[in-house]
Amino acid sequence: MSQSKKESFIPYYQHMSNEQLFDMANEQLQWLDADAIDSYYSTVESRGLSLICNMTHMESNGGGCKPAQLSKHNMQFLLQSIEQKRPIPELTSELRSRGIDAWCGYKILKALPEFLEEKIVLEKEKALNGSMLFFSGLAFRLLPLSSSKHLALIILVYSITAFGAIKWLDAFFRFRRYRKMIQFLSSSFHQSDSFAFPIGEDDAVV
């Protein structure tokens, strides 16, 4: 890489916050070429930062780029886009247009499988509760109840049974939906393996 191209990295890293520089050391630095790494360390040294002392701290606070912090509207867009199997670079570009810088968008996408795994656990619990309601309703319906004397109770049992079935089916389909998303994300990150780290001041947080 030419000296001029090497120097073009420096303004970008200078626009990054200390937190983003620490995050790069934890997750992204290994994918940069030698000239970009030199420019990165020039910025780190000029700020007097100690990566060894601070990496664990920065890793623990997460830098604030988490799926749970997305707005409902952005999360809905993200999940629908993943279901449509849109490429990762396209997703980060769209997130940028929604006010989320590319580095933060990348971290959100990387954390999304774990976030979805947590949602799957919740859906399993909902499915279990729904199935218990469904089978309890069926078992109760087997009792010799007179439709003339126990009409209200019979209606209640049918309602509980139907509610349990709907709850179980909803949780089951959500479970499958989230599992497919995780598989797509895992496959996408495996294929690209090295995310094209954004270059340019438009991607930086000033």
Angle between helices 72-83 and 151-192 (to 10 degrees): 70
Give residue-wise pLDDT tens across range 10-44.
566 777 777 777 777 666 665 666 667 677 777 77
Give residue-wise pLDDT tens across range 87-142.
887 887 888 788 777 677 878 888 899 999 999 999 999 999 999 999 888 887 77
Give residue-wise pLDDT tens across range 135-187.
888 887 777 766 667 778 778 888 889 999 999 999 999 999 999 999 999 88
Instruction: Give dist(CA 78, CA 70) in Å, integer.
Output: 10
